[in-house]
């Protein structure tokens, strides 16, 4: 291949990898499998070495994702470099030579830099693109295992990985009502959880932090040992990555020990890291433009097996998303039998050119998650169904952020109804513990549940439920008590639980507030009247109105009302002092514990909190009114006042929130 064609191929590869990386890291969307990404990356790297050319947009020059607009950005004091990697165990021995090293897990989550001062956590920043990250201090404070206060009083900076365990990942996905809201893997879930604007979401996701590197500790003496740094962090209360002290004679054996452990390890890991224990020696080696020379990453050499694809199973969800799942002749991988793997979406299905009867190779990503590596046949004959496999309704391919996905368009699809029941019992809706999606499927299959009201009549089947697999006298009784407790609810929660399109809990609250919880008036309102409510547009109003105009929906609603008790929420005119007003909140808060608390305070008084500044915004609440964030810029452009939290409280809440 001549130089010009090689350069052209490099540009093509750089663009493909850039799009895939942006989708994965910044948008939590997977448009390309790990195997395919690594294959293209290796091809680009080989071409760069061969030609001596490295393009300015080459992903080999950059690591991580670009910081998004919603969170404040901050430049790292020291660039966070990637690690050079190998899959050769003997190379680890050669690299270590006569030196002693530490071998530890390379965790698969989101890298975070923590800074402590005076014994307090003062800052947490994501890795971002290695030079600029996102400030997530409020979210880090609610990681389930992080010390917010430590005994060491000097300036302390450390790096670690925020992760969500496989077991927590499965629980969270099980509790998720939305089909396409389910996360593909723990890393995506962790990334979204850490980078939330509302740290209550982070707190509920059980994010854990494992320290893997000490950057700075003023005045501390570690006797030139990385191991001493790890022990120091452990004494301060940090969980560190599990590590072993190794040398040339036992490093290969130690890799084998980790390899055995990963099969049952609950924390996502995509390999190991080997670092010299001798700090001074490691630092004396310096770094390349991309890699530090004091450490080396070991990536598992994926065990791949050839098999035959014999079916694509299409799995619908509550929102209509239909996920393709590859079914193939069973093969043994990493000690277990594997016969199916998610293909995630239509884009990946097309890129693999799948066809029934094709020879494919499969592997376990990070030795855990089954994936298709390559299609050796590439027939591309898989037909995308024009009708839903559950209800027979018409399907449609939709493209969002360069990703094509298949949807069922039938609103009455049975699969959608199963997911609707999951939403109905979820925490922000009726909050019924013990009714997971799997349990609901069993009850629906047995005919115990046909409509929402039937959930409150499950006691009729108590004897049968006690005998069901996974149940017993105690768990059944707990479920019945949870159902009874859920009978008493609020009108907004009850309306939200119905799963009406575009009617979330905030919208339900706005409608109920406008009509002062007068159910008869809400039911009698037409599209024009609903549209007149501040924050309720014609689309939402039409969907809400049409839902209750449907005879079957109205019948089920009436049956549901017979089973619940709606708590009376009295609203005085004084409480509605912010009615019709729209606000935007950004940045960290001083007086309120969280943005959710401030949002609820505004909503109590009839106001609304939105995510973007428009000409209708009354004011932007930001304690840093000199910030160059997109929201501040937009507010100034539209001449929307930017108020500090204290100014907002005094002007709109009557100064009733005090700074403790």
Sequence-distant (6+) residues with CB within 8 A of 463 are none
Sequence-distant (6+) residues with CB within 8 A of 630 are 69
Report CA-CA distances (Å) from 574 to 407, 440, 581. 46, 43, 15
Measured between alpha carbons, how far apart are the two ends of the chain, in Å? 70
Residue 150 near residue 114 (C-beta atoms within 8 A): no
**CB-side exposure of 294: number of CA atoms within 13 Å?**
16
Distance separating alpha carbons of residues 365 and 303, to the nearest angstrom: 10
- Inter-residue long-range contacts of 376-385, CB under 8 Å, 24+ positions, other chains counted: 376/306, 378/353, 379/353, 379/354, 379/355, 380/350, 380/353, 380/354, 380/355, 381/355, 381/356, 382/312, 382/349, 382/354, 382/355, 382/356, 384/346, 384/349, 385/314, 385/322
Q: How many angstroms separate the most distant Cα atoms in the chain?
A: 82
User: Tokens in use for 650?
Assistant: 């005094």
Distance separating alpha carbons of residues 461 and 475, to the nearest angstrom: 14
Q: How many CB atoms lie within 10 A of CB 437?
A: 20
**Residues with active-site annotation:** 106
From the number of C-beta atoms within 10 Å of its C-beta (0-12, 13-18, 19+), residue 560 rates as buried
User: Tokens in use for 12?
Assistant: 């093509």
Q: Which residues sit opposite 610 in a β-bridge?
A: 584
Distance separating alpha carbons of residues 37 and 548, to the nearest angstrom: 48
Residue 556 near residue 453 (C-beta atoms within 8 A): yes
Residue 601 near residue 578 (C-beta atoms within 8 A): no
Q: What percent helix, strand, coil does the chain show, rounded to 5? A: 35, 25, 40
User: Tokens in use for 254?
Assistant: 């130690």
* Torsional sign, CA 235, 238, 243, 246: negative
Distance separating alpha carbons of residues 66 and 126, to the nearest angstrom: 11
* Torsional sign, CA 454, 455, 460, 466: positive
How does 581-614 read in b/e, with b if 16+ C-beta sit within 10 Å? Answer: bbbbbbbebebbebbbebbebbbbbbbbbeeebe
Distance separating alpha carbons of residues 396 and 322, to the nearest angstrom: 10
User: Tokens in use for 234?
Assistant: 């452990």
How does 503-513 read in b/e, with b if 16+ C-beta sit within 10 Å? Answer: bebebbbbbbb
Distance separating alpha carbons of residues 452 and 433, to the nearest angstrom: 15
Sequence-distant (6+) residues with CB within 8 A of 198 are 594, 595, 596
Beta-strand ranges (E) seen in 409-495 are 488-489
């Amino acid at each position: 291949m001549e130089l010009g064609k090689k350069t052209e191929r490099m540009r093509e590869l750089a663009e493909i990898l850039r799009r895939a990386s942006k989708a994965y890291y910044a948008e939590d969307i997977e448009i390309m499998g790990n195997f395919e990404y690594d294959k293209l990356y290796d091809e680009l790297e080989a071409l760069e070495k061969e030609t001596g050319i490295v393009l300015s947009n080459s992903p080999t020059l950059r690591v991580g994702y670009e910081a998004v607009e919603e969170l404040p950005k901050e430049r790292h004091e020291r660039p966070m470099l990637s690690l050079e990697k190998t899959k050769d165990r003997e190379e680890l021995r050669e690299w270590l030579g006569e030196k002693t090293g530490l071998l530890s897990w390379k965790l698969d989550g989101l890298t975070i830099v923590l800074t402590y001062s005076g014994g307090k956590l003062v800052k947490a920043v994501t890795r971002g693109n290695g030079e600029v990250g996102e400030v997530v201090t409020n979210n880090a404070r609610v990681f389930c295992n992080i010390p917010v206060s430590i005994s060491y009083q000097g300036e302390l900076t450390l790096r670690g990985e925020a992760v969500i365990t496989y077991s927590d990942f499965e629980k969270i996905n099980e509790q998720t009502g939305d089909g396409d809201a389910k996360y593909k893997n723990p890393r995506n879930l962790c990334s979204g959880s850490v980078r939330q604007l509302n740290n209550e979401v982070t707190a509920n996701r059980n994010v854990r932090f494992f320290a893997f590197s000490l950057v700075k500790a003023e005045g501390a003496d570690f006797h030139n040992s990385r191991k001493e740094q790890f022990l120091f962090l452990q004494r301060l209360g940090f969980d560190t990555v599990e590590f072993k002290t190794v040398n040339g004679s036992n490093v290969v054996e130690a890799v084998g020990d980790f390899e055995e452990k990963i099969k049952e390890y609950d924390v996502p890991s995509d390999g190991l890291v080997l670092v010299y224990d001798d700090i001074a020696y490691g630092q004396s080696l310096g770094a390349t433009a991309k890699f530090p020379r004091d450490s080396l990453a070991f990536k598992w050499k994926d065990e791949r097996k050839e098999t035959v694809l014999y079916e694509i199973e299409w799995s619908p969800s509550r929102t209509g998303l239909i996920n393709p799942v590859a079914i193939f002749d069973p093969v043994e991988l990493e000690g277990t039998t594997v016969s199916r793997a998610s293909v995630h979406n239509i884009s990946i299905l097309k890129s693999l050119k799948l066809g029934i009867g094709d020879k494919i190779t499969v592997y376990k990503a990070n030795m855990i998650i089954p994936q298709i590596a390559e299609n050796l046949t590439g027939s591309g004959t898989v037909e995308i169904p024009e009708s839903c496999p559950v209800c027979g309704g018409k399907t449609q391919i939709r493209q969002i952020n360069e990703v094509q996905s298949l949807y069922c368009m039938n609103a009455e699809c049975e699969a959608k109804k199963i997911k609707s029941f999951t939403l109905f019992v979820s925490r922000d809706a009726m909050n019924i513990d013990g009714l997971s999606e799997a349990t609901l499927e069993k009850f629906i299959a047995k005919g115990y549940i046909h409509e929402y009201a039937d959930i409150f009549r499950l006691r009729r089947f108590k004897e049968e439920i006690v005998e069901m697999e996974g149940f017993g006298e105690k768990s059944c009784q707990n479920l019945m008590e949870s159902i009874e407790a859920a009978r008493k609810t609020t009108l907004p929660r009850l309306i939200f639980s119905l799963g009406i399109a575009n009617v979330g809990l905030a919208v339900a609250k706005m409608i109920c507030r406008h009509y002062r919880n007068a159910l008869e008036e809400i039911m009698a309102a037409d599209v024009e009247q609903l549209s007149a409510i501040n924050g309720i547009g014609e689309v939402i109003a039409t969907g809400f109105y049409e839902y209750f105009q449907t005879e079957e929906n109205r019948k089920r609603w009436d049956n549901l009302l017979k089973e619940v008790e709606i708590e009376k929420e009295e609203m005085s005119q004084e409480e509605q002092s912010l009615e019709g007003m729209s606000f935007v909140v950004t940045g960290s808060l001083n007086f309120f514990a969280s943005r959710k608390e401030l949002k609820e305070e505004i909503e109590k008084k009839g106001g609304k909190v939105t995510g973007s500044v428009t000409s209708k915004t009354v004011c932007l609440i930001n304690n840093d009114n000199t910030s160059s964030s997109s929201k501040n810029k937009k507010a100034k452009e539209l001449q929307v006042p930017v108020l500090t939290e204290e100014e907002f409280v005094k002007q709109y809440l009557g100064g009733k929130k005090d700074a403790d």
